[in-house]
A and B are shown apart, each in its own frame.
Chain A
Amino acid sequence: MINYIIRRLLIMPITLFGMTILIFLMLWVLGPSARSALYVADIPKNEAVMKGIILKYGLDDPIYVQYWNWLVGRPDPDNEGETIGGILRGDFGYSRSFSRSVVEMLKLRFPATLELTLYAFLPIILVGVWLGVQAAVRHNQWIDQLARIFSIVGYSFPVFVLGILLMMVFYAQLRWFPVERVSDWVKLTEYTKYTGLVTVDALLNGRIDIWFDAMRHLVLPIITLSYTSWAAFLRITRSSMLETLRQEYVTTARAKGVAEKDVINKHARPNALIPVATYSGITVAYLLGGVVITETIFNYPGMGSAAADAASRFDVVTVLAFTLVTGLILILANLVVDLLYAILDPRIRLS
């Protein structure tokens, strides 16, 4: 197992390095004037000013010099001895479409997205796995049929169609669930923000009313974001469990008189969950991507809607930063999944 983990950890820096190169290449395609947003907040007014800025910050230096500057920062031409830029220093430049620095945007939008994806992800893992196992154990009974219908429908329903339908029915018509993140009165209310997750902060402050308001705002985005993953997860768990139940060692266990409950929970399920663990990594990736559409539909102020906004205004410096950060989150999530995999799979655990 140690070898497996070491190999896994060794690959990670390579992937990270590759990611930064890929992102930088996209910046490179943009041309020097668009890259000026890395160092200057305002759009330069005329050619002469632009030329000055390009010269001043070395935006037409050779590509490797610029990559290095982008990565670790460069000496600030205005302040002697200071460094400017450098994503490793946490400086992603300026978001011209939001008129603030990209890092500020990230700090502002990250907790909202984290909250949304957590609420979407946890139920899938907790309930989805259980349901999938049930569907397999009760093969071809009603719960199985229900799961099957649900997964076919879920697969074929485009996210943005469902989102808009839900919004028209439950927001515009019935007025049950509002859009955005919290109601206006919550925005005006003073309460201590420990984590930035509204629901958690509300509970820490003992404000049930704020918690309830935030939950009401989360319902539609959660459904929209997660139903496809529910469908996929059910399907994977079900088919993996079905296949395991057909294995000979399961028959052996049954033949020697192990109670059916133990056959399922102790013999079959742990093995059936190995592919499910792999799939949960894919689910995280899917949810992280899905926030773009979901947040845009519901005006939910997270990283996804910010990225979509910035992209539609061609504010590439901002979009790239968001993409890099979500990529980083994804890499960490996959690392967790792979370690989990190592623990779940005895072939790796005992090697």
Chain B
Amino acid sequence: MKNASESLTPLTEEAIPLREIGRLERFLGPEFYRIFRGVLTNPLSVIGVGLITFFILVAILAPVIIPPVDTVNPFMIPRDGYSAAPKPPGTEWVRRAPELPFWYKPLTGKDQWVHILGTASGQWDIFYGLVWGTRTAIIVGVIIEGVTLAIGIIVGSVAAFYGGWLDEILMRITEIFMAFPFIFAALTLSAVLTPRLGKGIWPPVIAIIAFGWMSYARLIRGDILSIRERDYIMAARVVGVSDLRILFKHIVPNAIYPTLVLASMDIGSLVILFAALSFLGIGTEVGYADWGQVISFARNFISVFTKYWYIIVYPGITLILFVLGWNLVGDALRDIMDPKMRGQVRR
């Protein structure tokens, strides 16, 4: 009788298709590695990542791109005079020009600041507003997203984990916050807070957070409800792990990472909401470098498009590219993480 092992193919490396697991994949873990690869292999989301990176760089490098004029409050847009009519791109900067950064002379060949993108009505420099506005946008976006997510995760996970009447109460509260049209509610709260906190980014930021956490809470609640019934949670209970530890160590990490990644892509639209409130005159003071202000300058001087196009086109392009960047990555992520699409996405 022949030995059984001889009739079978020996288990060599060729017999088992082994996949190289790179250092990156080991570091990120299989799920994140898949997301990471998915984002970087889809041309549209690569463009999105590029755009987001660009804006983050501009935000970080703002003082190098255009040095602040008012060093105490660098977020104030410098104004070159007070006349109402905007001046076209390339106009010489007469009053309160910033220092020349190192890149300026080699790139433009001039040794005087000009208004690169023109000035808005009231002679606010558009370029300065957009560059420093990017800094405001990123800061505001990260703060709002971070806090809304945190509130959403806490409310959603507590509601789902404890269930019963606590769940019922928390979900009713969520519904009440959702009952108002968002902009009306945010407008109201900013108007309430501004006299208390003074003009600045905080009233609109707090208002957006206060009326923005609900969808995350609901989403995370749903995810956790499905995880809660798994066997390993039961096992943890049997071993005697405390409720909070089960919730935040075992359930939340398994339930919410996908939501977390997707939600982070909302930064784009949150920044636009902030800009919208500031455009409406709620929040930051006139001349503060945020995109809503720059656009409201254009609103103050509605005039013939062919002559004054630059007061809306440059700010408009900036905002569109910003939103587009987040949307492109967000779309790709949604496809990658949608369980129904899983089989169709190249790994």
Contact = CB atoms under 8 A, between A and B. Distances in A.
Interface of A: 11, 14-15, 18-19, 21-23, 26, 29-30, 34, 152, 155-161, 164-165, 167-169, 171-173, 285-286, 288-290, 292-293, 296-297, 307-308, 310-312, 314-316, 319-320, 322-323, 326-327, 330-331
Nearest to B281: A312
Given A22-B180, A29-B193, A311-B280, 6 more contacts: A161-B320, A167-B302, A168-B302, A168-B304, A320-B188, A323-B187
B302 A322 contact: no
A158 B184 contact: no
A29 B306 CA distance: 47
A239 to B, nearest CB: 11
A172 B280 contact: no
Interface in B194-211: 194-196
B295 A326 contact: no
B184 A323 contact: yes
A294 B288 CA distance: 23
22 contacts: A11-B172, A15-B175, A19-B180, A156-B327, A160-B276, A160-B279, A160-B292, A164-B316, A172-B302, A173-B305, A286-B181, A289-B181, A292-B280, A293-B183, A293-B280, A310-B191, A311-B187, A311-B188, A311-B282, A316-B188, A322-B184, A331-B179
A331 B175 CA distance: 10
Contacts of B254: none
Contact of A19 (B176, B281, B298): B176
Nearest to A157: B320
Contacts of B196: 29
A81 B305 CA distance: 61
Contacts of B172: 11, 14-15, 18
A171 B299 CA distance: 13
A340 B142 CA distance: 39
A173 B320 contact: no
B91 interface: no
Contact of A319 (B182, B188, B299, B316): B188
Contacts of A311: 187-188, 190-191, 280-282
Query: Chain A binding site: helix, strand, loop or mixed by DSSP?
Result: helix
B324 interface: yes
Contacts of A26: 188-189, 192
Contact of B176 (A18, A158, A310): A18
Contacts of B173: 18
A307 B193 CA distance: 16
Contacts of B224: none
A279 to B, nearest CB: 14
A326 B309 CA distance: 35
A327 B192 contact: no
B319 interface: yes
A165 B316 contact: yes
B308 interface: yes
Nearest to B178: A285
- The residue in A11, A292, A311 that gathers the most chain B C-beta atoms within 10 A of its C-beta is A311
- The residue in B187, B282, B313 that gathers the most chain A C-beta atoms within 10 A of its C-beta is B187
A327 B183 CA distance: 11
Given A327-B180, A331-B179, A293 B279 contact: yes
Contacts of A326: 180-181, 184
Interface residues of B, number: 49
A320 B193 CA distance: 13
B305 A316 contact: no
A164 B280 contact: no
Contact of B323 (A15, A156, A165, A286): A156
B32 interface: no
B192 A29 contact: yes
Contacts of A172: 302-305
- The residue in B183, B184, B196, B309 that gathers the most chain A C-beta atoms within 10 A of its C-beta is B184
B104 interface: no
Given A164-B299, A168-B302, A314 B185 contact: no
A155 B323 CA distance: 8
B295 A164 contact: yes
Contacts of B190: 311
Contacts of A327: 179-181, 184-185
Interface in B5-62: none
Nearest to B312: A164
B191 A292 contact: no
A241 B90 CA distance: 51
B195 A288 contact: no
B275 interface: yes
A288 B176 contact: no
Contact of B187 (A22, A29, A290, A292): A292
Interface string B250-280: 0000000000000000000000100110011
B315 interface: yes
Contacts of A168: 302-305, 308-309, 312
Contacts of A286: 181
A316 B191 contact: yes
B191 A173 contact: no
A315 B181 CA distance: 19
B93 interface: no
A316 B192 contact: yes
B188 A158 contact: no
Contacts of B323: 155-158
Nearest to A162: B316
Given A156-B327, A161-B320, A314 B184 contact: no
B159 to A, nearest CB: 16
Given A161-B319, A171-B302, A292 B183 contact: yes
B185 A158 contact: no
A15 B191 CA distance: 23
